[in-house]
A and B are shown apart, each in its own frame.
Chain A
Amino acid sequence: MFGNLDKLHTGWSSGKPTGTLQPEEKMAILEVIQRNELLETAERQRVGRLVERVEKIKQRAAECGPRYCRLCGQSFGLLGPSKLICDDCQKPVCSKCSIELHSRETTGTRDIWLCKICSETREMWKKTGAWFFKGIPKYEIPQQRTSSSRQSFRDSKLRQEKPVKLGIKCTDTSSEEEDESTTEVDAQKHSTAVLNGRSSYCSAFNVGGNRKHPLVNRQNSATDTQSNQTNYDWETASISTTNRNGRRGSVTSSMSMSETSSANSSNGMGCYREPCFGWLELSVNYSEADHTLDCSLLRARDLPTMDVTGHADPFCKTNIITPYGSKQQKWFATKTVHKTTNPEFNEKVRFLGVEPDELINGSMLYVVILDDDRYGHDFLGAAKINLAPIYSSGPHRMTVPLDVEDNFCVEAAMSGPWLFGQILIALCYNTKRRSLIVRIDKCTNLMAKDKNGFSDPFVKLQMRPDSQKKKFKSSIKWRTLNPIFNEEFAFETRPNDLDKQLLLLTVWDKDLGKSNDFLGSLILGGNSKGRRLKQWKDCIRMPDCFHEQWHCLSGEHIPN
């Protein structure tokens, strides 16, 4: 130390200082570095939590295209929320999912709208310091609450990597499900493990054209080599997870700065979560002694919304699908949970007489979540659970991502008789005539009200409120339960008014000499749900063309 004294200056000198540090100096500096390291670790975790928060919001976003709110997926229009454009991402967003902000610029302040994702991203950029470093600093995504064994495995892994190098290992995260999230290593390690939500990963990730459920495959090709096929899908699952980690890995590369998170979202995020149908949590148990399959439908999360208030009225229909079709003719239906997209069902279903070979030979448990509405049950999501692993390894509790609609969903939705039949109508707003044109195409499966086993149906139409107070009647189709009308009716109205108006349809059986019999009703308008809401809004948004849609008739009378 003293040998270097001549080189100690308080000011500035040319040349590089060469003083070597004494042991006690090293100790002192190391102590500071270690203290800093603690702080940095906490900071990386904090940044990780902030990043994860935004990622979660992004995942929940509907992202259905330019005609719908980026976040909640509501379509815009006169009946729906007005369309705003987010100043940052330039994507359309509704007023509920955005905030107004005074932005300071060199030219002065101006008011801008930001969607929730961009406003949260901005906030995240402030809080993480990314605004300063022009990129998100290194971070660690917080650990999932997982099974104890895996947790300790990850912990030890992390501990090994922690010292000095600070290369951050990112463990999987984004998803909310607890057991299913796996790191790449986990996926490989447990690739032999049975259905632990991973089969659902297959369905969730292979949304592309070639995605096939192992069971669906088998249904087509009878008794094929099932084990092979199952294995194939396990592999796909693990590859998908790898991709996913790869994607995250790019965010938390060992560079000091990472790509911006939104760039990251554009190249990977959207594709595997779209379309977004939410999740179903259930537990399944098979008793070989009793030949019963017990299925507890616990809850669903993040279901699509079905009405303008952002709600749905979900219920489940469930059945076992064997290679020969659905096992029970009648699908079991749960009670409806009203006004929610995160319903708690907590209902148990017991399937009796389920033979072991049925499970082994590729049956699946099929749960369809539908929206309960008196004019039809719109599809919310479907879960397909391979039952072979359930047979071999006992009870399972799982959270599965919901899948797109297929034939079984239609079967489920239509099972249970629609007493009042269906009606096909087309709507068109004609801008020249300034009128809503309603075309009654046809009805099917109407109720028989006459002694001859038929009805003599006709349709009455009116708008409410309607300044013209117009009421229309279609012609009468004699002796039929499946009448074809193809008649058009025009209601003078403005697009702006359509927002608040309802179209009321009633179907009647013409009786001579006594009062007509009621056959069914349908109301369409801005407060309708699902398909009906879509037809109504499409009609407003895309005028001068017909929008055709089947609807179920309800038995409810419409008061005058």
Chain B
Amino acid sequence: MKKILSVLLLTACFFAQDLFAQDKCNSAVITTSPVVFTAEDEVTIRADVSSCPGLSGQSQLWLWMFVPDCCAPVFGNDASGGASDFCNSNDMLAMTNVEGDIWEYTFTPVTLFDRSPSEITQIGFIPKVNGCPGDPGQTEDLFLTVAPSIFIPTELRSFPATVFQNDFITAYFDQTLTENTAMSELSEIFVYTWATRTDAEGNSKPDAEAVPWPEVGNTPSLQTLDEGNGIFSLTVFPQDRYPLDEGDIVTGFNFIFRNAEGTAQAETLTVVPVTSN
């Protein structure tokens, strides 16, 4: 009887842990200034944790930071800001309160991690409270992409690097860099493109296609410009290209380079516009 009760008690405790456990916050709003930065640029991470129960209302937050598969921050000879001690936050990584639940941290990647720009292509970070109070006291793992200090050609790219939703946007496909044999042999390339959007209140709306997929090959304005040397491009002006409504907030411009028939295509290029401020 005692054994049965013990087993029942242990089982209850096991599930009780799940009942009262809370997840790491996945709704923190993260921005950087500048939007695009290299490892040698000074960058400010801004975190709005108002939607994170374990972080909202705290008097102080810290960052846990790391370069994936590489290294932790270095402060003089002390490398304790990173992988060595998650539960003992380093005051050198204390965030500055802007107002309410908005926190900032400013750093220069090559200085913080004491690494060369080529070694820092991504930065991982976690806004958290001090200690290890459990998952609610931190966000999930967050990542920032660090732009290269030199131009590196890629199969897909967009211009300019930072766009507003009322800017001209140019999508590029470099045929010489694709591993897709069918795409590498095309002489005429078209683009299927659409915008994802919300209304002014942030509610999702149906995608705004330039034209439906089957009609792309019959739409001359969606045929790319052959710039030579295997480079193909398409420039769009969103207000004229997509069926957007007044007040729409575009969350992404998407481009798929393809043949006229739609039987060969590249990966999707997504361009996220910034909001005017």
- The answer to whether A and B come from one shared complex is no
